[in-house]
Structure 1
Amino acid sequence: MSGGQFWPGRYTDRHGPEAVVFESDGRESIRTTIRGVRFEGDTMDDLGALGGEPPEAPFTFFDGALCSCLLEWEVPMPVAVEGQGVRTAVLDCALRLGDPAGPRRGLDAETLTTTLRFDGRTYQNTDGQGDFESALHDIQRQLPAGVRLQACIACAWSDYNPAGNGLMAGLACFRDVKDRYRQVDGKHGPTGIFAIWDEHTEFVQETWLCGEFEHRTTTHTGYRGPFPSRRWW
């Protein structure tokens, strides 16, 4: 796999906005610096201050992670266009993290908006989708025929744990056991996802991409199904 990415973005809370840059390894590490404080987390909704101590700068936290704020960032998104090869689009992401709702009750709101900018047009996920899996499925359905996202979410070798997944970065890659993964057709049994789960290569973000990418098709759908899915979110 290639090296990390730098996503230009913005952090906004009741004290005002600040331009930031998010550093991502494409797997389970995201870092940024806000008002001189270094933050790190597995996903965008779990960014905590490095060192573990509450910083002196004004922030709001819930269970050690930033909240009561708006995080915005841009991700380069390769797009395969039939007859033209691979081109680069831009995925604008906005995550609004609400206020703490009380002990053990989480946040009062968490809203993800993703907008793909490609060929002078925009494609945005519908309201109410709380993770990158459903948002990117929605965007793919809106794209013209012959235009396909080229990222881990659309790859033949990736799948989710049946127990569920969070906002992002919970996508398991099975590129090192392709022959076994081709046989997966459900949850349990000798050809179920649980039978090979511990053999996954690594966890990746939905928007990541490596040199072994292959488009997911309707002939092999693994546990999670085809991309885009046929269901409505």
Structure 2
Amino acid sequence: MNETYPATYRDSHGEESTFLHNDGKTLQMKVRGVEFSGERFDDFTAEDTELALLTDFNFNLGDLCDYSLKWTMPIPISENGNMIKATLRGEIILGVPTERGWIDRQDVTFSLDYNGKTFQSNGKSGWFETELLEIQKALPPGILMKACITCALSDYSPYGHSLFGCLACFRGNQKAYLEVNNKYDLFAVWDTLTEFVQETYLCPQFLPRQKGAGYRG
């Protein structure tokens, strides 16, 4: 996987058009001449640590914060078995650091442009998982966003997960994983996971997820 998405970065110092590069594991973007990279959208770090270049940015424990990022990416849709292309638009807003070492805001919103209509999440959860699945639930019967978040072979750790890119894929042990119904079943096969994937990734072994399947349902 090697994709590039048009993006818009905005903070208190202004707005800039850029590109978000995604190789399936690492995200990269360049803003005001500074290269940033991360894996979860909330952990962008500057590759050039020259202080003069970083004065126009805010950081929390080394991670870029106090900004918004909008991007547009293609996403395949299964329309009653027929494949078509749709457009997924995402936005993340990260707040300022608090005394406890956190940031005071983490908003995630998605909208899907499909068949002349726009389906939008409400942006209340702060999670890629919830916002993407909210859009999927709003789609008409027979319409499925094809991505790892809607795949029958993916699940999250019962111990919790990060904002993005921590979805466990079990495509290498399909039979055992498809028998998982709760967290204890998942723990029993956890060591057989193939890799961690991004929620918006898609591989040829995609299987539509059924309601209530696995640990995450």
1:213 equivalent among 206, 212, 217: 206
Distance 1:54 1:204 in 2: 34
TM-fit CA distance, 1:55: 5.7
Tell me, what secondary structure is at the counterpart of 1:206? coil
The aligned counterpart of 1:24 is 22
Evaluate the alpha carbon distance shift between residue 217 and residue 7 of structure 1 in structure 2; reply closer, same or farther with a 3 A threshold.
Answer: same
TM-fit CA distance, 1:54: 4.8
TM-fit CA distance, 1:106: 0.7
Evaluate the alpha carbon distance shift between residue 224 and residue 13 of structure 1 in structure 2; reply closer, same or farther with a 3 A threshold.
Answer: same
Tell me, what secondary structure is at the counterpart of 2:183? coil
Normalised by the length of structure 2, the TM-score is: 0.94
Unaligned 5+ runs, structure 2: none
The aligned counterpart of 1:48 is 45
The aligned counterpart of 1:128 is 124
Tell me, what secondary structure is at the counterpart of 2:189? helix
The aligned counterpart of 2:31 is 34
Structure with a larger share of its residues in helix: 2
Distance 1:115 1:54 in 2: 37
Evaluate the alpha carbon distance shift between residue 53 and residue 181 of structure 1 in structure 2; reply closer, same or farther with a 3 A threshold.
Answer: farther
Distance 2:213 2:180 in 1: 8
- Give matches, 1:168-179, under 5 Å: 168-179=164-175
Alignment size in residue pairs? 216
The aligned counterpart of 2:10 is 12
The aligned counterpart of 2:64 is 66
Q: What's the RMSD between the two structures over aligned residues?
A: 1.5
Tell me, what secondary structure is at the counterpart of 2:129? helix
Distance 2:20 2:91 in 1: 13
Evaluate the alpha carbon distance shift between residue 9 and residue 111 of structure 1 in structure 2; reply closer, same or farther with a 3 A threshold.
Answer: same
Percent identity for Structure 1 against Structure 2: 40
TM-fit CA distance, 1:205: 0.8
Evaluate the alpha carbon distance shift between residue 44 and residue 55 of structure 1 in structure 2; reply closer, same or farther with a 3 A threshold.
Answer: farther
The runs of at least 4 aligned residues of structure 1 exceeding 6 Å deviation read: none
The one-letter code matched in structure 2 to 1:203 is F
Distance 1:176 1:170 in 2: 17
**Does the CA-based 8 Å contact 2:61-2:101 persist in structure 1?**
no
> Does residue 199 of structure 2 align to residue 203 of structure 1?
no
Distance 1:173 1:55 in 2: 42
